[in-house]
Structure 1
Amino acid sequence: MYMHSREQDNTTRYSALDQMTDNPFHQWEDHSHDSSMLTLASGFLSDEQFYMILVFIIFTSQLINICSIIANSLSIAVFVNLGFSEPSNISLTALAVCDFTLAVLLTWNNLCFWLTYRNVRLPFHGLNVNFLTGGAQWTFLSSTVAWITAFISFERCLCILVPLKVKRLITPRGTFVAMLIIILLTFCPSFFIYIRYKFVWVFNPYLNVTILNTIPVNSEFAILFEKISVVICGVIQPLLAFSIVLICTVLLVVQLRKISSWRISIAFAKSQEVQPVENPAARSSAAEARISQKEERLVKLVATIATIFIMSYIPTCIGIFCFAIFDEFNPLGVYRRLFIVFGCITSLGQSISGSVNILIYYKMASKFRSVFRHLVRLDRQEQERHELE
């Protein structure tokens, strides 16, 4: 959520604020608003509260990001060893790659924030350069993760609803093409931000140094393009993907309960040695409900991933709504501190979501667990332990 403001008056403030202080972290502390609005904004978070929350979130996020990088690297290695004959392996690999990239971008974002906060003299403007080298890309990539999760959830819904046709509908080649399309439509537009902003070398008389900075391109086309991209890629796409994941997850849970109830009734009938009477319609319904134990485990795995994603993505949806509705909820507005804290909380939630997926795979996927243990040599260690005993 490191999106810049969409109004030209904020652009003017943005360029002027860089020269106000030798610490660019305070570029948000703009005093151009009237005193009543500033009092209202400061009433939400004091200086001490703001910095304490920011430091805590940054350090926590960095630890989780390191874990996420390691975990997703292992997940990618396991899926590569498993091969891509199964469509689910392709989509889960794409999800792991995106989570890995998100963790790397967030590590860079947090590093820039922390160095700027500590007033470390850098050869570039930490916050502005970070926006074009990590912040914008993270914003768009989080939308990519949302759409990949939506695709995985939709695929499992088809597995439950039409189990006899799903293999014809979802193929490895089709899944690979779907992943490419999702990345092209959601992540690649982040590089169009360079139409609106560009890098420049700027001499700072207060520091007596020349540093790398960014400036906005104030052409009508660039401003209009930014507005359209923010609305489509920053608001519509994430909310639509979140809605699809939510609907598919509800359907998965409902159908899993139906299948579980059907299996319990069959098991009870067999235990009582009673042959259940089924009419043709009932037999058809039962046939639709009969998915293999392997497919059922995969459905539960996807439902778990989607549920964790939903819980971690709720702050993002709230932030998107606030960004779209309130003009001052942006990096340069009156509620800039809330915007920054909200963005950090959002990134923290998505870091947690991306880092725990490997635990879900290990717990619920036997093939993944077997290959993982082989890669990290856990099975060999257990074998050696048994031999010693």
Structure 2
Amino acid sequence: MYLHSTKVDNTTRYPALDQMTDNSLHLWEDHSKSSSMLTLANGFLNDEQFSIIVLFMIYASQIINIFAIIANSFNIAVFVKLGFSEPSNISLTALAVCDFTLAVLYTWSNLCFWLTYHNVRLPFHGTNVSYLTGNAQFPFLSTTVAWITAFISFERCLCILVPLKVRRLITPRGTFLAMLIIILLTFCPSFFTYIRYKFVWEFNPYRNVTILNTVSVNSELAILFENISIVICGVIQPLLAFSIVLICTVLLVVQLRKISSWRMSVTSAKSQQVKPEENPAASSSAAETRISQKEERLVRMVVAIATIFIVSYIPTCIGLLCYVVFDEYNLFGVYRRFYIVSGYVITLGQPISGSLNILIYYKMASKFRIVFLRLVRLDRQEQERHELE
């Protein structure tokens, strides 16, 4: 299938996209490239293998996305119940909202592709419209998740490195403003996509109906905005946020080991002292130890969240580097099949990470666990016992 373009009213149309057979997975194929390169690129994945892999990834992604939507819905509900007096609740709520939105967009894009593949006659071009309403926002929203995770990790580092000053540095209002700034700088630039592309109603001669489609605006300003937003928000910012999360996680792990060693030495020394009620100073020290243990549990929870994020985000970093290094690694290039398959692998990482967070909160945060059990009505007996008391 050749990719022809025609200019109409300062826009570029791609009629070849509308000529796609409904069950075709060979979208936007460009045979103007060298035949030897195409043979090399397609030799590793023939038509049947490519179709099987993509469909399997779509089904797997859809199952994970549905679980991520349910899990993050509970996360948001629980954090709202807990309130936002603690700065950590604000940042964790923002993280849950972003993970929830990503899962919804993934589900929408997969559904459009699946319906198109199975010959469902949609009132819009499934591939093009789903790109503009879903896929185009993925890199920007994923970057938002990365920066929120970086902020959470950095906040915990401050709590350990400067515990006496962190209360003045990290406040609920400051955290809320930080979340707004992160969203404005990472996700909002995705709306530049609608300068480069726009929706149009056009007649489809192969279906003899008018459907919603998209066109590409062929202006230098629109292309410039798109390129700048992709480079800054789609490449530089994600890699920088990933680096911050990695550095902060390493620092947190090192500090946790030091705290654990210190606590063991303090506990050993206290075991040789008199009872707390006989020594007020010892009682006060024990209270401080309990507070330290509570802080340590929160730090461990953040380390677990950051570790899962790092593992799930490594494929994204590799994909971004390949996109920068290899000119033909894109949706219109010779290696488009590798780009599509690797793209589905990358998109599996984010919903998996967002799905596992609820397990971490439930296991490591006692307040979250209590509110969650009340929310799903699993602690009725315990509630009745407390009411009787």
| Letter aligned with residue 188 of structure 2 | C
Question: In the alignment, is residue 310 of structure 1 matched against residue 304 of structure 2?
Answer: no
2:75 and 2:310 map into 1 onto residues whose CA distance is: 21
Question: In the alignment, is residue 169 of structure 1 matched against residue 204 of structure 2?
Answer: no
Partner of 2:87: 87
Partner of 2:17: 18
Q: CA offsets per residue over residues 37-76 of structure 1, 9 Å max, x none?
A: 1101102322222111111111111111111111111111
Is the deviation greater in 115-124 or in 101-110?
115-124
Please tell me whether the aligned partners of residues 123 and 212 of structure 2 are also in contact (alpha carbons under 8 angstroms): yes
1:70 and 1:44 map into 2 onto residues whose CA distance is: 37
Is the deviation greater in 144-153 or in 207-216?
207-216
Q: CA offsets per residue over residues 55-99 of structure 1, 9 Å max, x none?
A: 111111111111111111111111111110000000000011111
| Letter aligned with residue 248 of structure 1 | C
1:291 and 1:195 map into 2 onto residues whose CA distance is: 52
Cα 1:68–1:154 shift into 2, 3 Å: same
Question: In the alignment, is residue 224 of structure 1 matched against residue 224 of structure 2?
Answer: yes
Partner of 1:358: 358
Tell me how far 1:207 sits from its aligned partner.
Answer: 2.5
Partner of 1:50: 50
Q: CA offsets per residue over residues 174-231 of structure 1, 9 Å max, x none?
A: 0000000001111111111111011112222223222211111111111111111110
Please tell me whether the aligned partners of residues 14 and 27 of structure 1 are also in contact (alpha carbons under 8 angstroms): no
Cα 1:53–1:384 shift into 2, 3 Å: farther
TM-score by length of 1: 0.88
Partner of 1:148: 148
Cα 1:203–1:378 shift into 2, 3 Å: same
Please tell me whether the aligned partners of residues 75 and 358 of structure 2 are also in contact (alpha carbons under 8 angstroms): yes
Please tell me whether the aligned partners of residues 12 and 217 of structure 2 are also in contact (alpha carbons under 8 angstroms): no
1:167 and 1:366 map into 2 onto residues whose CA distance is: 22
Question: For this pair of structures, how many residues does the alignment match?
Answer: 362
Tell me how far 1:267 sits from its aligned partner.
Answer: 2.4
Partner of 2:211: 211
Question: In the alignment, is residue 201 of structure 1 matched against residue 201 of structure 2?
Answer: yes
SS at match of 1:32: coil
1:183 and 1:166 map into 2 onto residues whose CA distance is: 23
Tell me how far 1:121 sits from its aligned partner.
Answer: 2.2
Unaligned runs of 5+ in 2: 1-5, 275-287
| Letter aligned with residue 205 of structure 1 | P
SS at match of 1:141: helix
| Letter aligned with residue 76 of structure 1 | I
Please tell me whether the aligned partners of residues 201 and 212 of structure 2 are also in contact (alpha carbons under 8 angstroms): yes
Partner of 1:326: 326
Partner of 1:107: 107
Question: In the alignment, is residue 185 of structure 1 matched against residue 185 of structure 2?
Answer: yes
1:56 and 1:135 map into 2 onto residues whose CA distance is: 18
Question: In the alignment, is residue 31 of structure 1 matched against residue 31 of structure 2?
Answer: yes
2:261 and 2:16 map into 1 onto residues whose CA distance is: 63
Partner of 2:280: none
Q: CA offsets per residue over residues 224-252 of structure 1, 9 Å max, x none?
A: 11111110011001111111101000100
Please tell me whether the aligned partners of residues 12 and 216 of structure 2 are also in contact (alpha carbons under 8 angstroms): no
Is the deviation greater in 313-322 or in 21-30?
21-30
SS at match of 2:72: helix
TM-score by length of 2: 0.88
| Letter aligned with residue 53 of structure 2 | I
Is the deviation greater in 369-378 or in 198-207?
198-207
2:107 and 2:372 map into 1 onto residues whose CA distance is: 26
2:338 and 2:15 map into 1 onto residues whose CA distance is: 22
Please tell me whether the aligned partners of residues 331 and 340 of structure 2 are also in contact (alpha carbons under 8 angstroms): yes
1:70 and 1:384 map into 2 onto residues whose CA distance is: 28
| Letter aligned with residue 104 of structure 1 | V
Q: CA offsets per residue over residues 142-197 of structure 1, 9 Å max, x none?
A: 11000000000000000010111111100000000000000111111111111101
SS at match of 1:346: helix
Tell me how far 1:34 sits from its aligned partner.
Answer: 2.3
Please tell me whether the aligned partners of residues 17 and 28 of structure 2 are also in contact (alpha carbons under 8 angstroms): no
| Letter aligned with residue 17 of structure 1 | A
1:19 and 1:112 map into 2 onto residues whose CA distance is: 15
Tell me how far 1:290 sits from its aligned partner.
Answer: 9.8
Identical aligned pairs, as a percentage? 77
2:170 and 2:319 map into 1 onto residues whose CA distance is: 34
SS at match of 1:342: helix
Is the deviation greater in 60-69 or in 114-123?
114-123
1:40 and 1:111 map into 2 onto residues whose CA distance is: 31
2:223 and 2:317 map into 1 onto residues whose CA distance is: 24
